[in-house]
Amino acid sequence: MIPRPAREDDAAAIGRVHVQAWRETYPGLVPDDHLAALDPVARAERWRRTIAAGPGVFVVEDEAGLFGFGNIGAGEHGDRLPFDGMIATLYVLARGQRRGAGHALMAAMARALRDDGRNGCALWVMRDNAPAVRFYERLGGVVVAQDSFTIGTATIAELAYGWRDLDALIARAEATR
């Protein structure tokens, strides 16, 4: 499975996958009314703008269509995290999990960050999203910060995982596929 850079015409599919992934992954973690209100058209427009702004969005697909994506950026952590690269999102639908898609996307994103001159990266994940936490820990991620945010009436704890060596992350992601 080889991720490819997203094209603007992928935005609608990314918007659908983004909403579906939230609805598959976050019941019990995010309020139901928030999940029900997610709008794939609005998400698609946001992804269209992100893709148009420059490289950094990657997708995976099969014969049934796009089923996963991720995107990167410069370290947008402010003073909170000492990393110059960021993995902003990584979502793989249930139908695409356990097929190496997450590992392939992580390797592609880490490689793109490295090729852009970045040294390390970090990402945020909901603390109670146990499958994602295990995934990042298997890839050698280390908890470097904790925080929380609010959605509606719910306060959601999150963890920041960091990697100081992108080459090590690439090697780990490729070895565990």
Task: Write down the pLDDT at residue 138.
Answer: 96
Mean pLDDT on 158-175: 96
Name 149's bridge partners: 156
Q: What is the pLDDT of residues 84-136, one digit of tens each?
A: 999 999 999 999 999 999 999 999 999 999 999 999 999 999 999 999 999 99
pLDDT value at position 35? 97
What's the CATH number where 159 sits?
Answer: 3.40.630.30
- Model pTM greater than 0.85? yes
* Closest by CA position to 60, among listed 38, 92, 36: 92
Residue listed under structure tokens 């918007």: 15
- Domain limits at 65? 4-175
**Mean pLDDT for all residues in the chain:** 94
Q: Please report, to the nearest 10 degrees, the dihedral formed by the alpha carbons of residues 165, 171, 174, 175 taken in order.
A: -130
Q: With contact defined as beta carbons under 8 Å apart, do 96 and 132 qualify?
A: no
Backbone dihedral angles phi then psi of residue 114, each to the nearest 5 degrees: -60, -45
- In the chain, the percentage of residues whose pLDDT exceeds 70 is 97
Q: Cβ contacts of residue 95 below 8 Å, gap of 6+? A: 64, 67
Strands lying side by side in the sheet with 154-163: 4-5, 57-62, 65-74, 85-92, 121-126, 154-163, 142-151
Question: At residue 177, does pLDDT exceed 70?
Answer: no
In this prediction, residues 55-80 reach a mean pLDDT of: 87
pLDDT tens for each residue of 13-42: 999 999 999 999 999 999 999 999 999 999
State the total domains in the chain. Answer: 1
Q: How far is CA 5 from CA 46, 59, 112, in A?
A: 17, 6, 10
